[in-house]
Amino acid sequence: MKRKPLDEFFLYFFVFLFALIILAPFYWLVVSAFSSKAELLSVPIHWFPEKIYLGNITKIFQGGLNISGGEVPPFGTAVKNSIIVAGVTTLICITVGSLAAYAFGRMSFFLSNQLFIAIIALRMLPEIVTVVPLYIIMKKLGLNNTLLGLILVYTSFTLPFVIWMMESYFEAIPVELEDAASIDGLSRLGIFFKIIMPLSLPGLITTAIFTLLTAWDEFLFALIMTSTYQAKTLTVAISEFTTRHMIDYGLMMTGGLLSALPPLLVALALQKYIVSGLTSGAIKG
């Protein structure tokens, strides 16, 4: 059926409008990162920098630099901490979560359904509710201000999501494939690694990306659990460009731009897996 010209006009208009709303903040982030402080605060607003300013990028990596009485956090250390915490958290959650999801999806054991519901219910708790208990536990274990403590905390609230996602992908795989592999002599672990995991690769990559982004962008727990620059992550470091006397918008925007690039590049590189993973999850019967 051929669309009417008026229908096409409204369709393209709303697509353009939504794209503008979504991309406008990112555009201003880029403009602010490459604008000097004077130009950024000038009136009227400069929607494009008159001169490309690279001082924010060089300044942000200078540890120990002072801005109006406040110390600029060592940005390079924060980037390294975020990479370690997000990467290790994703690896642990995907490994443990996939095994647990397969057990819940294919095995029947005592209180399996109740345990699965309990795990999913834990993910539904607001993060703010668990901050104090987790802080006390980490303090008693001596894991405050450590990357290991952040990894354990992030794993605690990300693992239920991974189990829930992967269990739905595993259920979409026909049981007959496992029966045939079992007849051929494959063990349960052999079936999991040689049959199930390759078939659920799009879902695995999609879940891994969501897990990575959750750990990369997390702010609340990182703020509460860390107080030294050696353990703070990228999100906390960006927030500390706000000092007692002023806010350095240029450094803050530059930090935001640099922190947004790695997840963006990962999503673009693995776009086809994300689309196929979401599609396979959507048509699961």
> What would the 3-class secondary structure string for the chain be?
CCCCHHHHHHHHHHHHHHHHHHHHHHHHHHHHHCCCHHHHCCCCCCCCCCCCCCHHHHHHCCCCCEECCEECCCHHHHHHHHHHHHHHHHHHHHHHHHHHHHHHHHCCCCCHHHHHHHHHHHHHCCHHHHHHHHHHHHHHCCCCCCHHHHHHHHHHHHHHHHHHHHHHHHHCCCHHHHHHHHHCCCCHHHHHHHHHHHHCHHHHHHHHHHHHHHHHHCCHHHHHHCCCCCCCCHHHHHHCCECCCCECHHHHHHHHHHHHHHHHHHHHHCHHHHHHHHHHHHCCC
CATH code assigned at 82 = 1.10.3720.10
CA torsion sign, 273 to 276 to 278 to 281? negative
What pLDDT score was predicted for residue 172? 82
**Tokens matching residue 269:** 């590189």
Q: Indicate if 222 and 110 belong to the same structural domain.
A: yes
Range of the structural domain that residue 27 is part of: 5-53
Q: Indicate if 101 and 205 belong to the same structural domain.
A: yes
Q: Indicate if 142 and 27 belong to the same structural domain.
A: no
The answer to whether position 194 is within a domain reads: yes
Cα-based distances in Å from 94 to 43, 69, 172: 49, 43, 18
What pLDDT score was predicted for residue 98? 92
Q: Indicate if 42 and 132 belong to the same structural domain.
A: no
Q: 58-78: string of b/e by CB count within 10 Å (b at 16+)?
A: ebbeeeeeebeebebbbbebb
Give the closest residue to 230 by CA, choosing from 81, 82, 86. 81
233/84 Cα distance (integer angstroms)? 10
Q: Indicate if 201 and 141 belong to the same structural domain.
A: yes
The answer to whether position 162 is within a domain reads: yes
The answer to whether position 271 is within a domain reads: yes
Straight-line distance from the first to the last Cα atom of the chain, in angstroms, rounded to the nearest whole number: 30
What pLDDT score was predicted for residue 82? 92
Q: Indicate if 33 and 112 belong to the same structural domain.
A: no
The answer to whether position 66 is within a domain reads: no
What pLDDT score was predicted for residue 276? 64
The answer to whether position 91 is within a domain reads: yes
The answer to whether position 26 is within a domain reads: yes
270/206 Cα distance (integer angstroms)? 8
**Partners of 195 in the beta sheet?**
none
10/90 Cα distance (integer angstroms)? 42
Q: Indicate if 23 and 87 belong to the same structural domain.
A: no
Q: Indicate if 174 and 220 belong to the same structural domain.
A: yes
Q: What is the number of domains present in the chain?
A: 2
Residues 253 and 57: beta-carbon distance below 8 Å: no
Our CA angle for 153, 155, 161, nearest 5°, is 125
Q: Indicate if 87 and 37 belong to the same structural domain.
A: no
- Report pTM: 0.81
The answer to whether position 40 is within a domain reads: yes
Q: Indicate if 194 and 249 belong to the same structural domain.
A: yes
Cα-based distances in Å from 260 to 74, 78, 79, 264: 18, 14, 11, 6
The answer to whether position 157 is within a domain reads: yes
Q: Indicate if 41 and 79 belong to the same structural domain.
A: no
Question: Quick check: bond before 44 cis, omega within 30?
Answer: yes
Q: Indicate if 24 and 91 belong to the same structural domain.
A: no
Instruction: Give, for all 285 residues of the chain, the pLDDT tens digit.
Output: 556 677 777 788 888 899 889 888 888 888 888 887 777 777 777 788 778 887 778 877 775 455 444 455 678 888 899 999 999 999 999 999 999 998 888 887 788 888 888 888 887 888 888 888 999 999 999 998 899 999 999 998 899 999 988 888 888 888 888 888 888 888 888 888 888 888 888 888 888 988 998 999 899 999 999 888 888 898 888 887 776 556 777 788 888 888 888 888 887 887 776 666 655 544 444
